[in-house]
Amino acid sequence: GAGVSQTPSNKVTEKGKYVELRCDPISGHTALYWYRQSLGQGPEFLIYFQGTGAADDSGLPNDRFFAVRPEGSVSTLKIQRTERGDSAVYLCASSPYGGTNTGELFFGEGSRLTVL
């Protein structure tokens, strides 16, 4: 499809397990963002990639969270030793350029993570 694709759409895991969430941005978009949305709240910024490099990872809550984008396209958000508080919808967005002053972000439908 032409939009941002995220897999899995739903992931249930046990506390302490490792999870990976994948994002396929719109083809040609150099900027990629990860946001986290807890129930009933607005999305919170996690990390921003421009090309292959993480240009801003100031939103990652702690060192259990890590994200990569090795070829400047697909990105994977990795969460180690999951905790119940990590339960949320993880949203990926892409943009042709980057930075909030350049226009709209195109969001995927999110990956809902539930940690039991």
Distances in Å between the Cα of 79 and the Cα atoms of 14, 43, 48, 61, 99 are 12, 18, 16, 11, 25
First to last CA, the chain: 32
Instruction: Write the CB contacts of 32 (distance below 8 Å, at least 6 apart in sequence).
Output: 23, 25, 48, 49, 69, 75, 92, 93, 94, 95
Helix, strand or coil for residue 1? coil
| Least distance CB 49 / another protein (angstroms) | 10
| Least distance CB 16 / another protein (angstroms) | 27
Site for another protein contains 107 (CB under 8 A): yes
Site for another protein contains 58 (CB under 8 A): yes
State the number of binding residues for another protein (CB under 8 A): 29
Site for another protein contains 45 (CB under 8 A): yes
Which one of residues 1, 28, 39, 40 is an interface residue with another protein (CB under 8 A)? Answer: 40
Binding stretches for another protein (CB under 8 A): 3, 31, 33, 40-45, 48, 55-56, 58-59, 89, 91, 93, 98-101, 103-110
